[in-house]
């Protein structure tokens, strides 16, 4: 019984360490490719909002996915820069993506345009601080 107990505690510890390491290993390049690179979610949403009659259902799917990616960004570790700055900048990106999602869910074009404008100006500051 004693043996079983300590065995399961050790197993649990190993499992949570594995989950922790996995959370650290989210690849920022992959997030950026899916979220921001040409053909990615951000340029797609930007383009979609310019349509005379925006396809809100598509925009909603894309902005939901963008928020998921932005959430993962905060759990990853950048190749450069300090942790406090990364926490602030990745949180800022998540907040802007969330504002975009909220505006799109409400079919609020002016609000979505404003949020996409903020996202568009976030790239350089973060890259300067955290990208090699």
In terms of Cα–Cα distance, which of 126, 38, 34 is closest to 79? 126
Which residue's entry shows tokens 């499992």?
15
Kind plus residue range of the DSSP H or E element containing 32 = helix 28-35
In angstroms, the CA 59 to CA 53 distance is 12
Nearest distance from C-beta of residue 16 to ligand HEC, angstroms: 25
# residues contacting ligand HEC (CB under 6 A): 21
Site string for ligand HEC, 39-68 (x = CB under 6 A): ---x--------------------------
Q: According to the binding rule CB under 6 A, does residue 79 interact with ligand HEC?
A: yes
Cβ count within 10 A of residue 51: 10
Nearest distance from C-beta of residue 101 to ligand HEC, angstroms: 15
* DSSP structure class, residue 82: -
Q: According to the binding rule CB under 6 A, does residue 101 interact with ligand HEC?
A: no
Residues that bind ligand HEC (CB under 6 A): 28-29, 32-33, 36-37, 42, 78-79, 89-90, 93, 119-120, 122-123, 126-127, 130-132
């Amino acid at each position: 019984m004693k043996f079983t107990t300590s065995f399961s505690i050790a197993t649990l510890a190993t499992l949570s360490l594995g989950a922790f390491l996995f959370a650290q290993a989210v690849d920022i390049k992959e997030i950026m490719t899916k979220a921001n690179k040409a053909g990615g979610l951000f340029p797609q949403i930007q383009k979609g909002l310019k349509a005379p009659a925006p396809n809100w259902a598509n925009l909603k799917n894309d902005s939901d996915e963008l928020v998921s990616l932005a959430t993962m960004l905060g759990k990853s570790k950048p190749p450069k820069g300090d942790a406090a700055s990364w926490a602030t900048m990745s949180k800022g990106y998540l907040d802007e993506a969330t504002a975009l999602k909220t505006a799109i869910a409400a079919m609020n074009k002016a609000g979505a345009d404003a949020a996409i404008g903020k996202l568009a100006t976030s790239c350089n500051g973060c890259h300067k601080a955290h990208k090699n």
